[in-house]
Structure 1
Amino acid sequence: MPRTIDHHARRKGLAAIVAAGLCVGLLGGAPSQAQTAAAVAARADFSGQSASGDVRRMADWVVVTRDNVGMPFVIIDKVAARVFVFDAQGHLSGAAPALVGLTPGDDIVPGIGDKPLSAIGPKDRITPAGRFVASLGQDLGQKDVLWVDYKAGVALHRVITTNPKEHRLQRLAAASPLQHRISYGCINVPAAFYDAVVDPAFARTSGVVYILPETRPLEQVFALAKP
Protein backbone atom coordinates (compact mmCIF):
# COMPACT_ATOMS: atom_id res chain seq x y z
CA MET A 1 0.00 0.00 0.00
CA PRO A 2 2.85 2.56 0.41
CA ARG A 3 2.97 4.83 -2.61
CA THR A 4 4.85 7.63 -4.29
CA ILE A 5 3.53 10.44 -6.46
CA ASP A 6 3.19 9.43 -10.10
CA HIS A 7 1.40 11.90 -12.34
CA HIS A 8 0.68 9.29 -14.97
CA ALA A 9 -0.93 7.04 -12.38
CA ARG A 10 -3.06 9.90 -11.06
CA ARG A 11 -4.39 11.10 -14.36
CA LYS A 12 -8.15 11.25 -14.42
CA GLY A 13 -10.13 8.75 -16.42
CA LEU A 14 -13.08 9.63 -18.57
CA ALA A 15 -16.10 10.32 -16.42
CA ALA A 16 -18.88 10.06 -19.00
CA ILE A 17 -21.09 7.01 -18.92
CA VAL A 18 -22.67 6.23 -22.29
CA ALA A 19 -26.21 4.86 -22.11
CA ALA A 20 -26.87 1.77 -24.18
CA GLY A 21 -29.50 -0.95 -24.10
CA LEU A 22 -30.43 -4.28 -25.58
CA CYS A 23 -32.69 -4.28 -28.65
CA VAL A 24 -36.29 -5.23 -27.93
CA GLY A 25 -39.06 -6.39 -30.22
CA LEU A 26 -41.26 -3.69 -31.75
CA LEU A 27 -44.84 -3.39 -30.44
CA GLY A 28 -44.22 -6.16 -27.94
CA GLY A 29 -43.63 -8.78 -30.64
CA ALA A 30 -41.05 -11.54 -30.54
CA PRO A 31 -37.46 -10.34 -31.09
CA SER A 32 -36.12 -10.74 -34.59
CA GLN A 33 -33.12 -12.93 -35.41
CA ALA A 34 -31.00 -9.80 -35.75
CA GLN A 35 -32.19 -8.48 -32.39
CA THR A 36 -31.45 -11.80 -30.71
CA ALA A 37 -27.96 -11.78 -32.20
CA ALA A 38 -27.42 -8.21 -30.97
CA ALA A 39 -28.48 -9.20 -27.45
CA VAL A 40 -26.04 -12.09 -27.40
CA ALA A 41 -23.27 -9.87 -28.78
CA ALA A 42 -23.93 -7.38 -25.97
CA ARG A 43 -22.78 -9.87 -23.35
CA ALA A 44 -19.28 -10.23 -21.98
CA ASP A 45 -17.21 -13.09 -23.38
CA PHE A 46 -15.75 -15.27 -20.61
CA SER A 47 -14.04 -17.65 -23.07
CA GLY A 48 -15.24 -20.63 -21.07
CA GLN A 49 -13.85 -19.36 -17.77
CA SER A 50 -16.02 -20.11 -14.73
CA ALA A 51 -17.26 -17.12 -12.74
CA SER A 52 -19.88 -16.32 -10.13
CA GLY A 53 -23.29 -14.99 -11.04
CA ASP A 54 -22.40 -11.53 -9.72
CA VAL A 55 -19.25 -11.39 -11.85
CA ARG A 56 -21.25 -12.31 -14.95
CA ARG A 57 -23.97 -9.78 -14.16
CA MET A 58 -21.37 -7.10 -13.65
CA ALA A 59 -19.47 -7.88 -16.85
CA ASP A 60 -22.64 -7.99 -18.95
CA TRP A 61 -23.79 -4.68 -17.45
CA VAL A 62 -20.47 -3.03 -18.30
CA VAL A 63 -20.69 -4.25 -21.90
CA VAL A 64 -24.34 -3.28 -22.37
CA THR A 65 -24.07 0.19 -20.79
CA ARG A 66 -20.51 0.80 -22.02
CA ASP A 67 -19.68 2.01 -18.52
CA ASN A 68 -16.01 1.33 -19.29
CA VAL A 69 -16.15 4.10 -21.94
CA GLY A 70 -13.91 2.29 -24.41
CA MET A 71 -11.26 1.22 -21.88
CA PRO A 72 -10.17 -2.21 -20.64
CA PHE A 73 -11.77 -3.24 -17.39
CA VAL A 74 -11.16 -5.53 -14.43
CA ILE A 75 -13.66 -7.22 -12.14
CA ILE A 76 -12.47 -8.30 -8.70
CA ASP A 77 -14.54 -10.89 -6.87
CA LYS A 78 -13.44 -10.67 -3.23
CA VAL A 79 -15.72 -13.48 -2.07
CA ALA A 80 -14.18 -15.97 -4.50
CA ALA A 81 -10.77 -14.23 -4.44
CA ARG A 82 -10.59 -14.01 -8.25
CA VAL A 83 -9.58 -11.33 -10.76
CA PHE A 84 -10.97 -11.07 -14.30
CA VAL A 85 -9.38 -8.79 -16.92
CA PHE A 86 -11.35 -7.81 -20.04
CA ASP A 87 -10.44 -5.82 -23.14
CA ALA A 88 -12.46 -2.75 -24.09
CA GLN A 89 -15.04 -4.86 -25.95
CA GLY A 90 -15.68 -7.22 -23.05
CA HIS A 91 -13.60 -10.19 -24.16
CA LEU A 92 -11.78 -11.93 -21.32
CA SER A 93 -8.02 -11.44 -21.49
CA GLY A 94 -7.34 -13.62 -18.46
CA ALA A 95 -8.41 -14.63 -14.97
CA ALA A 96 -6.42 -15.56 -11.89
CA PRO A 97 -6.66 -16.11 -8.13
CA ALA A 98 -5.95 -13.11 -5.94
CA LEU A 99 -5.10 -12.15 -2.39
CA VAL A 100 -7.33 -9.45 -0.92
CA GLY A 101 -7.80 -7.50 2.30
CA LEU A 102 -7.54 -9.41 5.56
CA THR A 103 -10.88 -8.15 6.86
CA PRO A 104 -14.15 -8.44 4.92
CA GLY A 105 -15.71 -5.06 4.21
CA ASP A 106 -16.51 -2.60 1.45
CA ASP A 107 -15.64 0.84 2.81
CA ILE A 108 -12.12 2.21 3.03
CA VAL A 109 -11.04 3.86 6.26
CA PRO A 110 -10.66 7.63 5.68
CA GLY A 111 -7.04 8.76 5.61
CA ILE A 112 -5.65 5.23 5.56
CA GLY A 113 -3.46 6.01 2.56
CA ASP A 114 -1.42 8.43 4.65
CA LYS A 115 -0.62 5.90 7.38
CA PRO A 116 2.44 3.63 7.49
CA LEU A 117 1.64 -0.07 7.24
CA SER A 118 2.62 -0.55 10.87
CA ALA A 119 -0.22 1.77 11.92
CA ILE A 120 -2.93 -0.09 10.01
CA GLY A 121 -4.67 -2.55 12.34
CA PRO A 122 -6.28 -5.81 11.20
CA LYS A 123 -9.84 -4.41 11.23
CA ASP A 124 -8.82 -1.66 8.78
CA ARG A 125 -7.20 -3.98 6.22
CA ILE A 126 -10.09 -3.81 3.78
CA THR A 127 -10.25 -3.97 -0.01
CA PRO A 128 -12.92 -1.37 -0.85
CA ALA A 129 -15.82 -2.01 -3.20
CA GLY A 130 -16.69 0.33 -6.05
CA ARG A 131 -15.78 1.65 -9.48
CA PHE A 132 -12.25 3.00 -9.89
CA VAL A 133 -10.39 4.50 -12.84
CA ALA A 134 -6.98 2.82 -12.74
CA SER A 135 -3.57 3.47 -14.29
CA LEU A 136 -0.11 1.94 -14.12
CA GLY A 137 2.36 3.71 -11.86
CA GLN A 138 5.08 3.01 -9.32
CA ASP A 139 5.11 2.27 -5.60
CA LEU A 140 7.74 3.40 -3.10
CA GLY A 141 9.98 0.56 -4.16
CA GLN A 142 9.82 1.81 -7.74
CA LYS A 143 7.97 -1.30 -8.86
CA ASP A 144 5.18 -0.91 -11.37
CA VAL A 145 1.66 -1.47 -10.03
CA LEU A 146 -1.87 -0.80 -11.22
CA TRP A 147 -3.13 2.00 -8.99
CA VAL A 148 -6.79 1.34 -8.21
CA ASP A 149 -7.34 4.01 -5.55
CA TYR A 150 -4.19 6.10 -5.35
CA LYS A 151 -5.36 8.29 -2.48
CA ALA A 152 -6.17 5.25 -0.33
CA GLY A 153 -3.02 3.43 -1.41
CA VAL A 154 -4.89 0.50 -2.97
CA ALA A 155 -3.20 -1.16 -5.93
CA LEU A 156 -3.31 -4.37 -7.92
CA HIS A 157 0.20 -5.80 -8.17
CA ARG A 158 2.38 -8.88 -8.30
CA VAL A 159 2.20 -11.03 -5.17
CA ILE A 160 4.55 -9.82 -2.44
CA THR A 161 6.81 -12.50 -0.97
CA THR A 162 9.12 -10.43 1.23
CA ASN A 163 7.62 -11.82 4.46
CA PRO A 164 7.92 -15.64 4.33
CA LYS A 165 5.72 -15.98 7.42
CA GLU A 166 2.71 -14.79 5.41
CA HIS A 167 2.98 -17.70 2.94
CA ARG A 168 1.44 -15.61 0.17
CA LEU A 169 2.39 -17.94 -2.68
CA GLN A 170 0.82 -20.86 -0.83
CA ARG A 171 -2.26 -18.79 -0.09
CA LEU A 172 -2.65 -17.93 -3.78
CA ALA A 173 -2.67 -21.63 -4.59
CA ALA A 174 -5.09 -22.55 -1.79
CA ALA A 175 -8.55 -23.77 -2.78
CA SER A 176 -10.38 -21.96 0.04
CA PRO A 177 -11.01 -18.23 -0.56
CA LEU A 178 -10.60 -17.70 3.18
CA GLN A 179 -6.90 -18.46 2.79
CA HIS A 180 -6.64 -15.55 0.35
CA ARG A 181 -7.43 -12.93 3.03
CA ILE A 182 -4.05 -11.48 4.01
CA SER A 183 -3.32 -8.09 2.44
CA TYR A 184 -3.61 -4.57 3.83
CA GLY A 185 -6.18 -3.81 1.13
CA CYS A 186 -4.22 -4.24 -2.07
CA ILE A 187 -4.94 -7.00 -4.57
CA ASN A 188 -2.07 -9.45 -5.12
CA VAL A 189 -2.02 -11.64 -8.24
CA PRO A 190 0.52 -14.15 -9.58
CA ALA A 191 3.54 -12.38 -11.09
CA ALA A 192 3.18 -14.26 -14.38
CA PHE A 193 -0.46 -13.15 -14.67
CA TYR A 194 0.44 -9.54 -13.95
CA ASP A 195 3.19 -9.55 -16.57
CA ALA A 196 1.21 -11.38 -19.25
CA VAL A 197 -2.27 -9.93 -18.76
CA VAL A 198 -2.50 -6.86 -16.50
CA ASP A 199 0.54 -4.94 -17.69
CA PRO A 200 -0.21 -5.29 -21.44
CA ALA A 201 -3.88 -4.37 -20.90
CA PHE A 202 -3.01 -1.07 -19.21
CA ALA A 203 0.31 -0.30 -20.92
CA ARG A 204 -1.05 2.50 -23.12
CA THR A 205 -4.31 3.42 -21.43
CA SER A 206 -6.19 3.84 -18.22
CA GLY A 207 -8.99 1.42 -17.43
CA VAL A 208 -11.82 0.73 -15.01
CA VAL A 209 -11.61 -1.60 -12.02
CA TYR A 210 -14.85 -2.85 -10.51
CA ILE A 211 -14.45 -4.35 -7.04
CA LEU A 212 -17.58 -6.26 -6.11
CA PRO A 213 -19.06 -5.78 -2.61
CA GLU A 214 -19.17 -8.52 -0.01
CA THR A 215 -21.24 -6.93 2.76
CA ARG A 216 -24.16 -5.61 0.71
CA PRO A 217 -25.98 -6.42 -2.55
CA LEU A 218 -24.33 -5.68 -5.88
CA GLU A 219 -27.07 -3.26 -6.94
CA GLN A 220 -26.47 -1.08 -3.88
CA VAL A 221 -22.95 -0.31 -5.07
CA PHE A 222 -23.50 -0.24 -8.83
CA ALA A 223 -26.44 0.92 -10.95
CA LEU A 224 -27.60 -2.59 -11.81
CA ALA A 225 -31.25 -3.56 -11.81
CA LYS A 226 -32.25 -6.15 -9.23
CA PRO A 227 -32.30 -9.68 -10.68
Structure 2
Amino acid sequence: MVIHWETTAVYNTIMSVSVGVALLSIVKFYSQLHANKIGHLEGWAIGFGIPGFILTLTGLHMTLTWPLSKIGFPFDDIIFGESSLAFGVLLLAITILLWRKANSYIKQGIDMNDAALVSENLKRSLPHLLKPLSYFAIAMGCSLIAMGCAGVTFQLFAAPPEEPISGLFAAYPMVEATFMSILLALTGVGAILFAVNQKEKPNESMAKLNKGVWTITGIIWTAFGIMNYFTHIGLIVNTMG
Protein backbone atom coordinates (compact mmCIF):
# COMPACT_ATOMS: atom_id res chain seq x y z
CA MET A 1 0.00 0.00 0.00
CA VAL A 2 1.19 3.50 -0.91
CA ILE A 3 -0.12 6.56 0.96
CA HIS A 4 0.49 10.07 -0.32
CA TRP A 5 1.38 11.60 3.05
CA GLU A 6 1.85 15.06 1.60
CA THR A 7 -1.94 15.31 1.23
CA THR A 8 -2.87 14.48 4.81
CA ALA A 9 -1.78 14.65 8.45
CA VAL A 10 -1.77 12.08 11.26
CA TYR A 11 -1.20 13.45 14.75
CA ASN A 12 -3.33 11.30 17.05
CA THR A 13 0.00 10.40 18.67
CA ILE A 14 0.26 13.64 20.63
CA MET A 15 -3.53 13.68 21.04
CA SER A 16 -3.40 10.31 22.81
CA VAL A 17 -0.51 11.35 25.06
CA SER A 18 -2.28 14.61 25.93
CA VAL A 19 -5.52 12.82 26.82
CA GLY A 20 -3.69 10.33 29.02
CA VAL A 21 -1.60 12.95 30.83
CA ALA A 22 -4.67 15.14 31.36
CA LEU A 23 -6.66 12.27 32.89
CA LEU A 24 -3.78 11.33 35.20
CA SER A 25 -3.33 15.00 36.15
CA ILE A 26 -6.99 15.26 37.16
CA VAL A 27 -6.63 12.12 39.28
CA LYS A 28 -3.47 13.49 40.93
CA PHE A 29 -5.06 16.90 41.49
CA TYR A 30 -8.04 15.44 43.33
CA SER A 31 -5.85 13.04 45.32
CA GLN A 32 -3.82 15.98 46.59
CA LEU A 33 -6.95 18.04 47.14
CA HIS A 34 -8.43 15.24 49.27
CA ALA A 35 -5.14 15.12 51.23
CA ASN A 36 -5.16 18.95 51.69
CA LYS A 37 -1.93 19.31 49.72
CA ILE A 38 -3.04 21.70 46.96
CA GLY A 39 -1.09 24.93 47.22
CA HIS A 40 -0.08 27.06 44.24
CA LEU A 41 -2.94 26.80 41.76
CA GLU A 42 -1.11 28.54 38.92
CA GLY A 43 1.04 25.46 38.33
CA TRP A 44 -2.01 23.21 38.15
CA ALA A 45 -3.73 25.67 35.83
CA ILE A 46 -0.80 25.55 33.41
CA GLY A 47 -0.60 21.77 33.82
CA PHE A 48 -4.18 21.46 32.56
CA GLY A 49 -3.74 24.24 30.01
CA ILE A 50 -0.92 22.56 28.08
CA PRO A 51 -2.84 19.39 27.07
CA GLY A 52 -5.97 21.51 26.78
CA PHE A 53 -4.32 23.75 24.18
CA ILE A 54 -2.92 20.79 22.23
CA LEU A 55 -6.24 18.93 22.19
CA THR A 56 -8.23 22.02 21.24
CA LEU A 57 -5.87 22.90 18.40
CA THR A 58 -5.49 19.41 16.94
CA GLY A 59 -9.09 18.42 17.65
CA LEU A 60 -10.42 21.53 15.92
CA HIS A 61 -8.23 20.96 12.86
CA MET A 62 -9.22 17.29 12.64
CA THR A 63 -12.91 18.11 13.14
CA LEU A 64 -12.94 20.78 10.42
CA THR A 65 -10.63 19.24 7.81
CA TRP A 66 -11.02 15.45 8.19
CA PRO A 67 -7.35 14.63 7.40
CA LEU A 68 -7.74 10.91 8.14
CA SER A 69 -10.44 10.56 5.48
CA LYS A 70 -7.68 10.97 2.90
CA ILE A 71 -6.12 7.66 3.97
CA GLY A 72 -9.35 5.72 4.36
CA PHE A 73 -10.32 6.37 8.00
CA PRO A 74 -12.98 9.14 7.95
CA PHE A 75 -14.72 7.78 11.05
CA ASP A 76 -11.54 8.43 13.07
CA ASP A 77 -11.89 12.15 12.31
CA ILE A 78 -15.18 12.11 14.22
CA ILE A 79 -14.09 9.78 16.99
CA PHE A 80 -10.71 11.30 17.77
CA GLY A 81 -11.19 14.83 16.43
CA GLU A 82 -14.46 15.79 18.06
CA SER A 83 -13.79 14.07 21.38
CA SER A 84 -10.34 15.69 21.62
CA LEU A 85 -11.80 19.10 20.80
CA ALA A 86 -14.44 18.74 23.52
CA PHE A 87 -11.93 17.57 26.15
CA GLY A 88 -9.47 20.29 25.17
CA VAL A 89 -12.03 23.06 25.57
CA LEU A 90 -13.12 21.67 28.95
CA LEU A 91 -9.48 21.60 30.10
CA LEU A 92 -8.98 25.19 29.00
CA ALA A 93 -12.11 26.18 30.92
CA ILE A 94 -10.72 24.50 34.04
CA THR A 95 -7.41 26.30 33.46
CA ILE A 96 -9.16 29.67 33.44
CA LEU A 97 -11.22 28.84 36.53
CA LEU A 98 -8.18 27.73 38.55
CA TRP A 99 -6.13 30.74 37.45
CA ARG A 100 -8.91 33.14 38.43
CA LYS A 101 -9.39 31.31 41.72
CA ALA A 102 -5.66 31.66 42.45
CA ASN A 103 -5.82 35.40 41.79
CA SER A 104 -8.89 35.64 44.01
CA TYR A 105 -7.12 33.92 46.90
CA ILE A 106 -4.12 36.21 46.54
CA LYS A 107 -6.37 39.29 46.66
CA GLN A 108 -8.05 37.89 49.78
CA GLY A 109 -4.64 37.59 51.42
CA ILE A 110 -4.70 33.80 51.51
CA ASP A 111 -1.19 32.40 51.70
CA MET A 112 -0.77 30.12 48.65
CA ASN A 113 1.91 28.22 50.56
CA ASP A 114 -0.75 27.17 53.08
CA ALA A 115 -1.85 24.06 51.21
CA ALA A 116 -4.39 23.03 53.85
CA LEU A 117 -6.16 26.40 53.75
CA VAL A 118 -6.17 26.57 49.94
CA SER A 119 -7.42 22.98 49.72
CA GLU A 120 -10.26 23.57 52.17
CA ASN A 121 -11.37 26.65 50.24
CA LEU A 122 -11.23 24.75 46.96
CA LYS A 123 -13.26 21.84 48.31
CA ARG A 124 -16.10 24.25 49.03
CA SER A 125 -15.96 26.29 45.82
CA LEU A 126 -14.76 23.91 43.10
CA PRO A 127 -17.94 21.79 42.82
CA HIS A 128 -20.01 24.94 42.26
CA LEU A 129 -17.53 26.22 39.66
CA LEU A 130 -17.43 22.93 37.75
CA LYS A 131 -21.14 22.14 37.95
CA PRO A 132 -22.05 24.17 34.83
CA LEU A 133 -19.34 22.28 32.89
CA SER A 134 -20.64 18.92 34.09
CA TYR A 135 -23.63 18.88 31.73
CA PHE A 136 -21.41 18.98 28.66
CA ALA A 137 -19.05 16.45 30.28
CA ILE A 138 -21.95 14.03 30.82
CA ALA A 139 -23.07 14.42 27.20
CA MET A 140 -19.55 13.79 25.91
CA GLY A 141 -19.13 10.86 28.29
CA CYS A 142 -22.24 9.28 26.77
CA SER A 143 -20.85 10.13 23.31
CA LEU A 144 -17.63 8.24 24.09
CA ILE A 145 -19.67 5.22 25.09
CA ALA A 146 -21.59 5.51 21.79
CA MET A 147 -18.26 5.65 19.93
CA GLY A 148 -17.17 2.50 21.73
CA CYS A 149 -20.38 0.74 20.69
CA ALA A 150 -19.81 1.86 17.09
CA GLY A 151 -16.23 0.56 17.21
CA VAL A 152 -17.35 -2.96 18.12
CA THR A 153 -20.43 -2.95 15.87
CA PHE A 154 -18.56 -1.85 12.74
CA GLN A 155 -15.16 -3.37 13.65
CA LEU A 156 -13.28 -0.07 13.49
CA PHE A 157 -9.71 0.88 14.50
CA ALA A 158 -7.90 -2.05 12.80
CA ALA A 159 -4.41 -0.93 11.81
CA PRO A 160 -3.14 -1.68 8.28
CA PRO A 161 -0.65 -4.58 8.02
CA GLU A 162 2.11 -2.09 7.11
CA GLU A 163 1.99 -0.61 10.63
CA PRO A 164 4.47 -2.19 13.07
CA ILE A 165 3.08 -3.95 16.18
CA SER A 166 -0.59 -2.97 15.68
CA GLY A 167 -0.47 -4.29 12.12
CA LEU A 168 0.15 -7.80 13.47
CA PHE A 169 -3.57 -7.89 14.30
CA ALA A 170 -4.71 -6.61 10.89
CA ALA A 171 -6.23 -10.01 10.08
CA TYR A 172 -8.15 -9.94 13.36
CA PRO A 173 -10.04 -6.62 13.30
CA MET A 174 -12.05 -7.39 16.42
CA VAL A 175 -8.89 -7.36 18.56
CA GLU A 176 -8.13 -3.66 18.14
CA ALA A 177 -11.82 -2.82 17.74
CA THR A 178 -12.52 -4.33 21.17
CA PHE A 179 -9.46 -2.75 22.79
CA MET A 180 -10.13 0.77 21.53
CA SER A 181 -13.89 0.54 22.09
CA ILE A 182 -13.47 -0.51 25.72
CA LEU A 183 -10.89 2.28 26.22
CA LEU A 184 -13.26 4.90 24.79
CA ALA A 185 -16.23 3.63 26.76
CA LEU A 186 -14.32 3.48 30.05
CA THR A 187 -13.06 7.03 29.53
CA GLY A 188 -16.68 8.07 28.97
CA VAL A 189 -17.83 6.28 32.13
CA GLY A 190 -15.17 8.20 34.07
CA ALA A 191 -16.41 11.49 32.59
CA ILE A 192 -19.97 10.73 33.68
CA LEU A 193 -18.87 9.73 37.18
CA PHE A 194 -16.75 12.88 37.51
CA ALA A 195 -19.56 15.17 36.36
CA VAL A 196 -22.30 13.59 38.45
CA ASN A 197 -20.13 13.71 41.58
CA GLN A 198 -19.49 17.47 41.51
CA LYS A 199 -20.87 18.07 45.00
CA GLU A 200 -19.54 19.81 48.08
CA LYS A 201 -19.73 16.40 49.77
CA PRO A 202 -18.95 13.97 46.94
CA ASN A 203 -19.80 10.28 47.15
CA GLU A 204 -16.55 8.60 48.21
CA SER A 205 -17.32 5.27 46.53
CA MET A 206 -18.07 7.04 43.25
CA ALA A 207 -14.90 9.12 43.60
CA LYS A 208 -12.79 5.99 44.15
CA LEU A 209 -14.36 4.29 41.13
CA ASN A 210 -13.76 7.41 39.04
CA LYS A 211 -10.14 7.52 40.21
CA GLY A 212 -9.62 3.88 39.30
CA VAL A 213 -11.22 4.19 35.87
CA TRP A 214 -9.28 7.32 34.90
CA THR A 215 -6.00 6.00 36.31
CA ILE A 216 -6.28 2.90 34.13
CA THR A 217 -7.44 4.75 31.01
CA GLY A 218 -4.94 7.58 31.57
CA ILE A 219 -2.02 5.14 31.69
CA ILE A 220 -3.27 3.28 28.62
CA TRP A 221 -3.88 6.45 26.54
CA THR A 222 -0.41 7.73 27.44
CA ALA A 223 1.32 4.42 26.73
CA PHE A 224 -0.66 3.91 23.53
CA GLY A 225 0.32 7.37 22.26
CA ILE A 226 3.98 6.78 23.11
CA MET A 227 3.90 3.43 21.28
CA ASN A 228 2.27 5.08 18.28
CA TYR A 229 5.24 7.39 17.87
CA PHE A 230 7.09 4.24 16.80
CA THR A 231 4.26 2.50 14.97
CA HIS A 232 3.06 5.55 13.03
CA ILE A 233 6.57 6.49 11.97
CA GLY A 234 6.97 2.87 10.84
CA LEU A 235 3.68 3.06 8.93
CA ILE A 236 4.85 6.22 7.14
CA VAL A 237 8.18 4.64 6.23
CA ASN A 238 6.48 1.45 4.97
CA THR A 239 3.88 3.25 2.84
CA MET A 240 5.80 6.14 1.28
CA GLY A 241 5.57 6.10 -2.51
For normalisation by structure 2, the TM-score amounts to 0.23
> Relative to total residues, which structure has the larger strand share, 1 or 2?
1
Larger Rg: 2
Q: TM-score, normalised by structure 1?
A: 0.24
Higher helix share: 2
